[in-house]
Amino acid sequence: MVRTQRGALSIWAIAVLVYLAAVFHRTSLGVASLEASVRFGVGPAALGTFTVLQIGVYALMQVPTGLLVDRYGPRRVLTVAALLMGAGQLLFAFAVSYPLGLLARGVLGVGDAMTFVSVLRLVAAHFPARRYAALAALTAALGAIGNLVSTVPLSALLDGAGWTATFAVAGAATVLYAVVLATRVRDGAAAEPDRAPARTAGMVPLLRSVLGQVRLAWSTPGTRLGFWVHFSTMFAPAMLGLLWGFPYLVQAQGMSEPAAGLLLGVLVVGAIVGGPLVGTVVSRWPECRTPLVVAYLVTALAVWSVLLGWPGGRVPAGVLVAGFALLSFGGPASSIGFALARDYNPLRRVGTATGVVNVGGFVAITVSALSVGVLLAAFGPLGPQTAFRIALLSVVVVLVVGLWRTSVWWRRARAAVFDAEARGEAVPVQIRRRAWDLARA
């Protein structure tokens, strides 16, 4: 038993490292955004397209990734992911034109998209269900170290070694790590892919089977709730760390570039601290999962009200630190969505359901990042403070929509649980009926 646990932890640790690399590559443009603007000769809207493309590709790839993981196993998918991320970063290192830079970030986005779902599938296969929520949150927290590396250390490397050398080394190291993944990771008995349908069925029945899996995952209220939880919680701190946080702090708040890098690091530290904390709480008291999410969303709305409504527009440094620290818990809170997907779907469909949930946050990031870029370009003549204040209102709009849909599907998911209990079926979480609960699913 001890040897089995050690083997599972070893496999998980190897997989987490490639997810850490994925987060680093994903967020590496955050502190390099101003340099990228000069290198490619583009303005805010075109610069925002880098993130929109990468995150849009990520979102589009989530359901296909879940299907690939369920069919071929996470080891193969992770190996391909490392190769694609390395190739994309190498291309980005040597790109000097805007279209080539876009292609590089697109390739990187495809590889990035294949990592997190694969790691969670390994967790589901190698660890008992009661440990899933804690390990999912811990995985996200450890991945956030990649975000931390992409702030101050990456900024220092760019200043010293330069654009090409920095990104080329990062890309080459990721390509080499694919060998470790291919030789050391094992899918696990519970995660061995079922390839029999591929040999016995034609393409049309296979396509119907694949679409059926997606429909089943999407029609499960717990999956739908997980989608909106992920949509609502992770996008704001991710959008700030990926692209617009650095320009906002430097141009609108008047901070120096090193100070802005340090403040972005608060988002990462909060995610690292909050991940194990949230994971522990929801593992011990799973009935608290969605109330915790709603509490975070209400807090996030209050933070944005303070940041965008501050008189004069120049927010004191202490208030910025506190606001960013509170927003940083969105990443850990988003892991609750994956716990919902794990609890309310059979293991053979967990990869697909996890992919569906993971789409939510990255759709929100894509919409918010693009909206901020377009509004900045439109209101830029009014000055950076006013332009950012108007542009970041789009974040509040997305947050309100997410809170609304999360509330709707929370009630529906609870109703489904009560109906299952009434039929005598086992349910993963025991909850008490409240006055506001729906009568039926």
Instruction: For the chain, give every domain's residue range.
Output: 2-422
Would you place residue 227 in the very low, low, confident or very high pLDDT band (cuts 50, 70, 90)? very high
Specify the pLDDT at position 202. Answer: 55
**In the CATH hierarchy, which fold is given to the domain comprising 2-422?**
Growth Hormone; Chain: A; (1.20.1250)
Would you place residue 328 in the very low, low, confident or very high pLDDT band (cuts 50, 70, 90)? very high
Specify the pLDDT at position 375. Answer: 93
Distance of CA 365 to the CA centre of its chain: 9
Mean pLDDT of the chain: 85
Specify the pLDDT at position 93. Answer: 92
Which of 154, 180, 176, 177 minimizes the C-alpha distance to 167?
154
- Please tell me which residue, 37 or 179, carries the higher pLDDT value: 179
Separation of alpha carbons 144 and 189, rounded Å? 29
Specify the pLDDT at position 223. Answer: 93
Across residues 63-73, what is the average pLDDT?
86
Separation of alpha carbons 390 and 255, rounded Å? 19
Specify the pLDDT at position 196. Answer: 42
Across residues 81-103, what is the average pLDDT?
94
Residue 97: exposure state from Cβ atoms within 10 A (0-12, 13-18, ≥19): exposed
Across residues 58-83, what is the average pLDDT?
89
Across residues 420-436, what is the average pLDDT?
74
Across residues 210-233, what is the average pLDDT?
89
Across residues 249-259, what is the average pLDDT?
89
Residue 18 tokens read as: 């490639």
Specify the pLDDT at position 83. Answer: 96
Q: Which residues of 269-304 are buried (b: 16+ CB within 10 A; e: fewer)?
A: bbbbbbbbebbebbbeebeebbebbbebbeebeebb
Q: pLDDT tens digit string along 355-411?
A: 889 889 888 988 898 899 889 989 988 888 999 999 999 999 999 999 999 999 998
Specify the pLDDT at position 205. Answer: 64
Q: How many CB atoms lie within 10 A of CB 228?
A: 24
Separation of alpha carbons 238 and 327, rounded Å? 10
Separation of alpha carbons 371 and 383, rounded Å? 18
Residue 74 tokens read as: 């996470």
| Residue 144 pLDDT exceeds 50 | yes
| Residue 189 pLDDT exceeds 60 | no
Specify the pLDDT at position 316. Answer: 93
Least confident of 199-203, 298-302, 323-327, 351-355: 199-203
SS3 for the chain is CHHHHHHHHHHHHHHHHHHHHHHHHHHCHHHHHHHHHHHHCCCHHHHHHHHHHHHHHHHHHHHHHHHHHHHHCHHHHHHHHHHHHHHHHHHHHHCCCHHHHHHHHHHHHHHHHCCHHHHHHHHHHHCCHHHHHHHHHHHHHHHHHHHHHCCHHHHHHHHHCCHHHHHHHHHHHHHHHHHHHHHHCCCCHHHCCCCHHHHHCCHHHHHHHHHHHHHHHHHCHHHHHHHHHHHHHHHHHHHHHHHHHHHHHHHHCCCCHHHHHHHHHHHHHHHHHHHHHHHHHHHHCHHHHHHHHHHHHHHHHHHHHHHHHCCCCCCCHHHHHHHHHHHCCHHHHHHHHHHHHHHCCCHHHHHHHHHHHHHHHHHHHHHHHHHHHHHHHHHHHHCHHHHHHHHCHHHHHHHHHHHHHHHHHHHHHHHHHHHHHHCCCCCCCCCCCCCCCCCCC
Specify the pLDDT at position 440. Answer: 52
- Please tell me which residue, 99 or 433, carries the higher pLDDT value: 99
Would you place residue 4 in the very low, low, confident or very high pLDDT band (cuts 50, 70, 90)? low
Residue 244 tokens read as: 């617009």
Q: pLDDT tens digit string along 121-130?
A: 898 888 887 7
Phi, psi of 433 (to 5 degrees): -70, 135
| Residue 2 pLDDT exceeds 60 | no
Which conformational region is residue 41 in: left (phi greater than 0), alpha (psi within -120 to 50 degrees), or beta? left
Separation of alpha carbons 44 and 432, rounded Å? 49
> What percent of the chain has pLDDT above 70?
92
Q: pLDDT tens digit string along 344-356?
A: 888 778 888 888 8
- Please tell me which residue, 434 or 203, carries the higher pLDDT value: 434
If you average pLDDT over each of 76-90, 259-273, 358-372, which comes out highest? 76-90
Specify the pLDDT at position 438. Answer: 62
